Structure 1
């Protein structure tokens, strides 16, 4: 057992907790340690497709929106890698997704409070001592070490969602978009491929398959139940909803009203970026030169009702819901882009009685990102809070602000200033 009592123990090291670790590295009054079971930092590795871009500007790095002088900024990463001039000549605010991953890997290697290959297997609470016990297993040696922490921060991310009808078929030929790069060679050998879903991940997979279709000659299908392959809402004033102002506005509503609002905001986070749609249309246009048979089919307004094996193929049972017309589609490979769901980790089972839950089994979360608990210690949380804090909960542009709030609460003073207004528009009518 490590007998030191840490001020904060982090479970999971994705971008949000990595940002927190980087900001805390400059604050010696807080002793923190973060654990992740992966052997090293790796952010959605199955979707690090060449040509894909981060959907927020580079300033939404780990630290800049709190402290532009912090050594873990993206610009300092570029300086250390001798990439400042290439980035300067690139003249873009957005960056390749692969570069964002490399930047985070650079920061993770530099940070002494982040430990990889360490799986948190159990969390417990000692009421008499008022501290948490964190049991951590080394993934290589399988040895378990226990740590003590006054407070926890949970950043376990989300899990890929496979609809029930696909789950028994999951494998080399039926898989989630999150596994695309590891299965890309399989796709190149297929005679037919179908992508299901019309979010950003599905679009990026379809674009990559479309790039290679003329070389590998497969039939390529894309199915969505949406009325079209819809663009994400990216106008300047619309994206102000990814701001601290909007988070505070959203938080004040009842849970029933929050759920209603959130359900109406899908194109803020589920649509396709305009540049991806443009790339796809350009590729479709080029595929059609000289009247060539494209063997590409894009089907909208269509819900997949089920899927079953049919020899070496899969029969996809579809329904065009506006016409209420059923039909089937056959495919050798099926790629499912049906999103992700928050991961409520099993390791917290011993803490469940201390946590308040809503009637849908979701965390009850305070405005400052603490779980509502019946003990004096705190559990801060990064994942599974869209229902409480709204559409920006998974947005990288709000990660640093959230960590400013957490750090201020943890230390008990305003280390990082929090302002009343960050954007031009007003969401709340109270001032009138």
Structure 2
């Protein structure tokens, strides 16, 4: 990163330092012509620390690190991280295609600790377009070690990228639980922080039938005495369903499918998003097997474990009983029956949602193009569609992990992070810094293939079905 006069525009300012923007920063690092800086309000990098349960694994292979699928020669690969720790041979003999979640977190922290241009304890407050200078203004607050405001700052940039990630989702009927005093009610994101307290509760209910709910239920089950488990696991899905993990099913997480999805009409995209839940909200088959094995082991000497697993159930309302217990009002979606469940602690494994960009983008609202649902429109290069008065200057705003409505199920997937980052950098620089593959799936997702968009750096290639263009974003 070159020394920077505060009034001199940077080439790129990144907002948020999660895996997506960390991937972009790592791939931007060797591009000497780019002057970049990234801001994050947290004091350091961490990746869902409350869910780093012992033994839990990342659901994508280790090749889906920050950079490998765009540049396997990068110094920021997971394999190079292992090399710096003298762990290549142990990893080799472990034969683990899917790494431990805690290990992925440690790898990302290694990148964040060694990569220049990352500024933690910096909270971005606003992004504005300055029409007089034809430049973006980014206002930020520098925080002290206690998270209090220490100084205000402003930087100018030709391009900005938002990678602010997701936030815990609490469905409306469950919101009263969060403010219940004296009773442990935690979102899965904070599970490990409150685990010791949860284990002292007489009866524990886990709400949510995805991977996090399964991992937490398994961890609680393994930690409770046989015959006195007193656990209840409920979820809205009709079954505790395995994640779609067939090899052709996984091709929904390829750039080919992303291009196909982006080219579909908006109503079709919205309908498809709701049908893809088992591609990313299902449960790893190994986790389901481990739960069954643990339950079966407890029947070896007769009797059944004191654990109830009930899918197809939604929470209608929730409330407090006295000051020590919680009552969940349940409805079975298939039986159309209702009941009440009294419990001493609740873990809300209800997932995460994309953060609302409107607050941080309020300064760009007059220039922002929205779809029929008032969501920001995003082009195939992950750029927000802004007024031509902005884009004609060559300045753009990009988003990461906030474009599921335009790019499909793969938007938050770690396996597409490197490709997306490379696409953004190629587009931003107008150069093929990272050659990207022209085809990534055996599946052809439409009657006619959706070719990569042609740019000034494209090369024509032949195929059996016609002529396509190589993606040179």
Q: TM-score, normalised by structure 1?
A: 0.97
Alpha-carbon contact 1:53-1:96 (below 8 Å) kept: yes
Q: Distance in 1 between matches of 2:89 and 2:435?
A: 32
Separation in 2 of the partners of 1:26 and 1:415?
A: 10
Matched with 1:68 is: 72
Distance 1:267 1:347 in 2: 32
CA distance in 2, matches of 1:105, 1:162: 28
Residues 387-406 of structure 1 aligned to structure 2 (within 5 Å): 387-406=405-424
Query: How big is the shift at 1:94?
Result: 0.6
Cα deviations by residue, 1:99-158 (Å, 9 ceiling, x for unpaired): 000000000011111111111112222111111111121210521111111110000111
- Please show how residues 11-160 of structure 1 align to structure 2 within 5 Å: 11-140=15-144, 142-160=150-168
Is the contact made by 1:262 and 1:387 (CA closer than 8 Å) also made in structure 2? Answer: yes
- Provide the rounded CA distance (Å) in 1 between the counterparts of 2:304 and 2:202: 15
1:166 is aligned to 2:170: no
Is the 1:195–1:222 contact (alpha carbons within 8 Å) kept by the matching residues of 2?
Answer: yes
Aligned length: 432
2:378 is the counterpart of 1:370: no
Q: Tell me, which stretches of 5 or more residues in structure 1 are unaligned?
A: none
1:286-301 to 2 correspondences below 5 Å: 286-301=297-312
Question: 1:326 maps to what in 2?
Answer: 338
Deviation readout 1:337-370 (Å, 9 max, x if unpaired): 2211111242221111111112222110001100
Task: Please name the residue that 2:403 is paired with.
Answer: 385
Q: Are 2:351 and 1:339 equivalent residues in the alignment?
A: yes
Residues 272-291 of structure 1 aligned to structure 2 (within 5 Å):
272-291=283-302
286-295 or 173-182: bigger deviation: 286-295
Q: Secondary structure at the match of 2:278?
A: helix
**Structure 2 unaligned regions, length at least 5:** 450-464, 466-473
Partner-residue secondary structure (3-state), 2:282: coil
SS of alignment partner, residue 225 of structure 2? helix
- 1:407, CA displacement in angstroms? 0.6
The correspondence for 2:430, drawn from 412, 415, 431, is 412
In the aligned structure 2, how far is the partner of 1:413 from the partner of 1:177?
Answer: 42
- Equivalent residues of 2:243, 2:285 under 8 A apart: yes
In structure 2, the residue matched to 1:199 is 210
Shift in Å at residue 215 of structure 1? 7.4
The 2-side partners of 1:424 and 1:348 are apart by 39
Contact 2:228 2:305 in 1 (8 A): no
Q: Distance in 2 between matches of 1:116 and 1:52?
A: 27
1:2, distance to aligned residue in structure 2 (A)? 2.1
Structure 1 moving runs of 4+ over 3 Å: 215-218
Q: State whether residues 120 and 134 of structure 1, in contact with CA within 8 Å, keep that contact through their aligned partners in structure 2.
A: yes
Q: Distance in 1 between matches of 2:121 and 2:80?
A: 27
2:383 matches 1:354: no
Over 3 Å counting, the alpha-carbon distance change for 1:151 and 1:113 in structure 2 is same
1:383 is displaced (CA, Å) by 2.6
- Using the TM superposition, name which of 109-118 and 162-171 deviates more: 162-171
- How do residues 241-256 of structure 1 correspond to structure 2 at under 5 angstroms? 241-256=252-267
Deviations 1:72-115 (A, max 9, x none): 00000000011111101110111000000000000001111111
What's the CA shift for 1:263? 1.3
Q: TM-score, normalised by structure 2?
A: 0.89
Greater share of residues in helix: 1
| Alpha-carbon distance, 1:420 to partner | 2.3
Paired position in structure 2 for 1:263:
274
Note closer, same or farther for the CA distance 1:217–1:410 as it changes in structure 2 (3 Å cut).
same
Aligned counterparts of 1:168 and 1:304: Cα–Cα separation in 2: 12
- Name the CA distance, whole Å, in 2 between partners of 1:4 and 1:54: 41
Q: Is the 8 A contact 1:362 1:384 kept in 2?
A: no
Q: Describe the shift of the 1:295–1:215 C-alpha distance in structure 2 as closer, same or farther (beyond 3 A).
A: closer
Answer whether contact 2:227 2:306 (CA < 8 A) is retained. Answer: no
Taking only aligned residues, the RMSD between alpha carbons, in angstroms, comes to 1.5
Contact conserved, 1:197 with 1:223, CA < 8 A, in 2? Answer: yes
Range moving further from structure 2, 247-256 or 318-327: 318-327
| Residue range with higher mean Cα deviation, 122-131 or 239-248 | 122-131
SS of 1:162 mapped into structure 2: coil
